Every structure is written in structure tokens, then in C-alpha cells.
């Protein structure tokens, strides 16, 4: 069974990065922020954190700690996926079929995001699944050097910019041997 992840793992990674870079954990930094007086607004806090040498993801984490986490960062993976398909129920069986198809590929992690799901090898993302319209689910694939042709279409704005091609699915039957083969090729190329 593939591992299902939400944003909590990423936030834990950012917390570890903060401690590694500064020698202080989130709790200590939260105290420093409170004591600084630089927590009146996000711009002021970011400027102060930058002067303290806290940038990038650790800075974003501390901003969330001070001003609150967006709902999608505190939702479970299941809740994020359910929300993606709440008004597109006809697409959920297609998503479930894609997840079932990648189970046999090896160590696949399913990372739920607000608007899509990343499929990740032990090394990196190899595919993204997004309910793009009310009647179409797109499976974006990381296949460097593969040009759009046949069922492969250009992929813009699907997951991240390394996802270069996509296949559109409108029913579970569209997930045929060709698409499963493309998923396997993307997995193999990125494992």
C-alpha cells in the first residue's frame, strides 16, 4: 500500500531545517518573535526574521506559527483529497483507479495538496493527479525529453513545472495499459 502524506511531514521538515540552521527550535523562535515586538504584521515579522538569518521555508513556518496556518496545511490527507472531489464525484473512481495502478510500482508516496495529489518515488515526484474540470481528471507525468503526441498533451500548471506532459481521463476505463505504461515509465525514470 502506498503511503499517504499531508502537509504535516513538510512542516516537520521545515522545523528541523530551522533548528539545523539556527540551533533553536520552533518553541524558542516563537518566544523570540513574541519578545521582539516585530510580530504586529507579516511584513514586519519577515523583515525581522531575515535580519536574524531566518529565511525560506523556516521563515514561512514561523509566520504560520504567529499568524495561523491555512486550513489546507492542517487538514488530513484524506480530507484534502475528499475536498478535491466534493463537487466532482464522478472523477473520484478515476483517482482511485490511478492510485490502485501505482501500488505495484514500488515505494510510492501519495502527497495530498490543496488542489492536486503528487505521486512520489523514494527520490522525487513522478506524477501529479488533478481533477481539472468537473468531467476531466489530468494525470501529469515527469517524463523529461518526452514531447506531447497522441494522448500525451502539454502540461502547464499541473503540480510543478517538472511535470511536462499529461494524459486526460474522463472515466476509469480511460486508465488503460497505455496510461499505466506511461505511469510506470515516469516512475522508473524518476526512481
What does the alpha-carbon distance between residue 138 and residue 131 come to, in Å, rounded to a whole number?
A: 6
pLDDT tens profile 78-111: 999 999 999 999 999 999 999 999 998 888 999 9
40 with 125, same domain?
no
β-pair partners for 140: 128, 166
Residue 135 sits in the same domain as residue 154:
yes
Which pLDDT band holds residue 126 (cuts at 50, 70, 90)? very high
Q: How many domains does the chain have?
A: 2
Contact 68, 111 (CB under 8 A): no
8 A C-beta contact, residue 61 and residue 26? yes
The stretch 19-37 carries a mean pLDDT of: 95
Residue 87 and residue 45 share a domain: no
**Which pLDDT band holds residue 156 (cuts at 50, 70, 90)?**
confident
Based on the fold, state whether residues 128 and 174 are members of the same structural domain: yes
Return mean pLDDT, the chain: 92
Amino acid at each position: 500500500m502506498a503511503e499517504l502524506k499531508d502537509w504535516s511531514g513538510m512542516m516537520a521538515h521545515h522545523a528541523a531545517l530551522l533548528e539545523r540552521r539556527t540551533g533553536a527550535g520552533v518553541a524558542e523562535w516563537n518566544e523570540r518573535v513574541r519578545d521582539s515586538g516585530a510580530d504586529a504584521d507579516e511584513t514586519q515579522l519577515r523583515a525581522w526574521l531575515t535580519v536574524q538569518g531566518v529565511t525560506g521555508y523556516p521563515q514561512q513556518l514561523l509566520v504560520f506559527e504567529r499568524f495561523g496556518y491555512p486550513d489546507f496545511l492542517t487538514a488530513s490527507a484524506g480530507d484534502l483529497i475528499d475536498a478535491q472531489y466534493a463537487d466532482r464525484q464522478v472523477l473520484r473512481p478515476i483517482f482511485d483507479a490511478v492510485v490502485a495502478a501505482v501500488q505495484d510500482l514500488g515505494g510510492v508516496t501519495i502527497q495530498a495538496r490543496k488542489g492536486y495529489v503528487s505521486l512520489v518515488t523514494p527520490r522525487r515526484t513522478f506524477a501529479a493527479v488533478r481533477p481539472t474540470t468537473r468531467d476531466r481528471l489530468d494525470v501529469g507525468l515527469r517524463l523529461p525529453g518526452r514531447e506531447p503526441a497522441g494522448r500525451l498533451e502539454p502540461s502547464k500548471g499541473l503540480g510543478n513545472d517538472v511535470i511536462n506532459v499529461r494524459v486526460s481521463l474522463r472515466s476509469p476505463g480511460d486508465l488503460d495499459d497505455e496510461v499505466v505504461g506511461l505511469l510506470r515509465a515516469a516512475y522508473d525514470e524518476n526512481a
